[in-house]
């Protein structure tokens, strides 16, 4: 036969155990949040400068879209090269080249650009950006998206 008070002391121990468990859990949670706060948030973005292939990879008179870099590589009939961003300055949607009309068109809000990148319609606040393209020492085309150039800039190979 249990003695008087044994049931109460067991319930009290359980209650205190749960209480101390909650205190320890909250302290560990705060410690984990503090450690996470001290770890920097790193955003991994693709490199701003990159190689896009050899000049012979692009046919004269072609406009080639490179989706992973969001750029157009334009090779004129005279063999010169230009690179143009494929992101619309309005909301950063990817524009597409419509060869039959010789225009770039944004599918998001209908902005249209000439083959020189100038806005002709839509809400885009400015023209498409042109990037510097040079020839690397290994003979491949090298694009630097940190250097914007004028629309008449060309790399002659």
Tell whether 15 and 28 lie within a shared domain: yes
Tell whether 107 and 32 lie within a shared domain: no
**Is residue 144 included in any domain, yes or no?**
yes
Tell whether 60 and 130 lie within a shared domain: yes
Distances (CA, A) of 92 to 37, 96, 106, 141: 30, 12, 9, 25
Distances (CA, A) of 85 to 23, 65, 95, 149: 55, 10, 9, 11
d(CA 112, CA 104): 6
Per residue in 68-101, pLDDT (tens digit) is: 999 999 999 999 999 999 999 999 999 999 999 9
Tell whether 80 and 31 lie within a shared domain: no
Least confident of 8-12, 63-67, 133-137: 8-12
Segments forming the whole domain that contains residue 113: 49-149
Per residue in 61-71, pLDDT (tens digit) is: 999 999 999 99
Number of domains in the chain: 2
60: pLDDT strictly greater than 60: yes
CB 157 within 8 A of CB 75: no
Label each residue of 43-60 as H, E or C: CCCCCCEEEEECHHHCCC
7: pLDDT strictly greater than 60: no
**Is residue 120 included in any domain, yes or no?**
yes
Quote the DSSP letter at residue 85: E
Per residue in 99-129, pLDDT (tens digit) is: 999 999 999 999 999 999 999 999 999 999 9
Residue 32's pLDDT band (cuts 50, 70, 90):
very high
d(CA 113, CA 124): 9
d(CA 121, CA 118): 9
Tell whether 67 and 28 lie within a shared domain: no
**Is residue 154 included in any domain, yes or no?**
no
């Amino acid at each position: 036969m249990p003695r008087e008070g044994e049931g109460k002391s067991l319930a009290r121990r359980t209650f205190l155990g749960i209480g101390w468990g909650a205190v320890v859990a909250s302290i560990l949670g705060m410690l984990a949040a503090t450690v996470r706060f001290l770890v920097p948030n790193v955003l991994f973005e693709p490199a701003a400068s990159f190689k896009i292939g050899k000049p012979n990879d692009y046919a004269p008179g072609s406009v080639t879209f490179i989706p992973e870099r969001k750029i157009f590589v334009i090779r004129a009939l005279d063999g010169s090269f230009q690179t143009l961003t494929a992101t619309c300055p309005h909301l950063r949607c990817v524009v597409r080249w419509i060869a039959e009309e010789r225009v770039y068109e944004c599918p998001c809000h209908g902005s249209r650009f000439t083959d020189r990148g100038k806005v002709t319609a839509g809400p885009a606040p400015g023209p498409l950006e042109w990037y510097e393209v040079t020839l690397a020492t290994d003979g491949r085309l090298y694009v630097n998206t940190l250097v914007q150039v004028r629309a008449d800039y060309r790399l002659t190979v």
